[in-house]
Amino acid sequence: MPHVPNLFERLYILRANRAPGAIYDLLGGGTVKSVALAAEFGVFDALADGPATADDLATRLAAHEETLDMLCRFLGRAGYLDSDGDTYALSDLSERWMVGDPGLVDWFTFWDSVVYPFWDDNATAVLRTGEPEQSVYEWLDDHPDRWPTAQRGFEAVAKLALDPVLDNVDVRGKRRLVDLGGGHGRYSIGACRVTPGLEATVVDSPVALDVARANAADAGLAERIHTIGGDLLADDIGSGYDLAFAFNVVHGFTPAENRRLFERTADALDPGGSVVVMDQFEGAGPIATARAMNDFIGFTYRVLLGGRVYRFEQVEAWLREAGFTDVERVDLRRAPGVTLVTGTLPK
């Protein structure tokens, strides 16, 4: 895990303020960069096959042995690797969260290769004006070599959130799902797997839908998962659905745009149809870390999209204005800081 100060350090450095506690933030930033670099070189994947020395890893990964050993030593301090003499192995943290499927390595790489470079180019201007000159998606169009990294990052988070979402969303008996901004299609694939006969339509920008179609084919669901390329607020999204997902889209829109989104969603649903919204919400989260993360994510949405995290009460009001009733929220304990909001149209 990231470096956690021991009891003496917490008392002496953080509570008594006798040394600069900000050093932990520097360590945190350095850990993100180091994990992304190790992932780029394949360190985690190599160690997933079993423990290895730095010499062995350097040979397999075409790296400089002494420098790789220094990187691995730091990753050990940060909790991502274990060591026994000169031999390194994945820690329990990395075994659980950094390798396999799902894993967070692609999420770290996304932040390192997409979010932070975009931040470097745009954050100063956003702080002055309140919005970026271009969205991160437009920036990615100008850097097409980074689109695959972004898509893998989005998928990594979706794979981690999928089971908690399906545990809390009733898809029994549903026939047609529209997945608004569903991009990679992972949520539609998950819903179709647990609901025989369900068909899903993923609506997103055309650049994202190639991934959705490929994922659906790999899952053996190409016949049941369809795609529509277009603008969620302007283009045809279909009709006759009885369930709608709007996952991680609210934060990128203005209040007026979100009202428009939910009005269009209501129009696309049959009477009695339901909508499920998933996002981060201001002040939500069962622990202080989740609430701090949501504040950080909210600022990041402003830099990337000109967006923000909203209060639950705002989203509830937009849904009710669009005609949805029985609006309820569920804070996902297995995904701290993430909230589901559901609403149903009258029959």
How many CB atoms lie under 10 A from the CB of residue 15?
10
Would you say residue 1 lies in a domain? no
Instruction: Give the 3-state secondary structure of 185-223.
Output: CHHHHHHHHHCCCCEEEEEECHHHHHHHHHHHHHCCCCC
CA–CA separation, 148 and 179 (whole Å): 21
Q: Quick check: 217 pLDDT over 60?
A: yes
User: What proportion of the chain, given as a percentage, has pLDDT over 70?
Assistant: 98
> Domain containing 338 — which CATH number?
3.40.50.150
- The whole-number pLDDT of residue 338 equals 85
Out of 62, 97, 132, a domain closes at: 97
Mean pLDDT score, 192-219: 93
Residues 65 and 127 in one domain: no
The answer to whether residue 249 scores a pLDDT higher than 90 is yes
**247 and 109, same domain (yes or no):** yes
Compute the average pLDDT of residues 104-121.
Answer: 92
Alpha carbon 283 to chain centroid distance?
Answer: 18
Place 286 in a pLDDT band, splitting at 50, 70 and 90.
low
What is the reported pLDDT for 208? Answer: 83
Asked if residue 14 belongs to a domain, the reply is: yes
> How large a percentage of the chain has pLDDT more than 90?
68
Give yes or no for residue 101 having a pLDDT over 80. no
80/91 Cα distance (integer angstroms): 5
Q: Domain span at residue 35?
A: 7-97
Are the CB atoms for 33 and 61 separated by under 8 Å?
A: no
pLDDT, the chain, mean: 90
207 pLDDT band (50/70/90 cuts)?
confident
Bridge partners (DSSP) listed for residue 276:
245, 342
Examine the domain organization and report whether 91 and 127 are in the same domain. Answer: no
Write the CATH number for 37.
Answer: 1.10.10.10
What beta strand segments (E) does 230-281 contain? 241-247, 269-280
Q: How confident is the model at residue 285 (pLDDT cuts 50, 70, 90)?
A: low
Whether 265 and 301 map to the same domain: the answer is yes
> Is-contact 275 329, C-beta < 8 A?
no
Instruction: Indicate the residue among 97, 118, 152 that finishes a domain.
Output: 97
Say if 2 falls within a structural domain: no
Return the pLDDT at 295: 85
- Is pLDDT larger for residue 66 or for residue 6? 66
The verdict on 110 and 192 lying in the same domain is yes
Query: Bigger pLDDT: 263 or 28?
Result: 263
- Cα-Cα-Cα-Cα dihedral of 55, 79, 163, 284, to 10°? -150
* Interior/surface letters 244-273, b for 16+ CB within 10 angstroms, e for the rest: bbbbbbbbbbeeebbbbbbebbbebbeeeb
pLDDT reading at 335 higher than 80: no
Residue 220 counted as domain residue:
yes
Predicted pLDDT at 66: 95
Q: What is the pLDDT of residues 39-92, one digit of tens each?
A: 999 999 999 999 999 999 999 999 999 999 999 999 999 999 999 988 999 999
**What is the average pLDDT across 184-205?**
94
The answer to whether the beta carbons of residues 184 and 211 sit under 8 Å apart is: yes
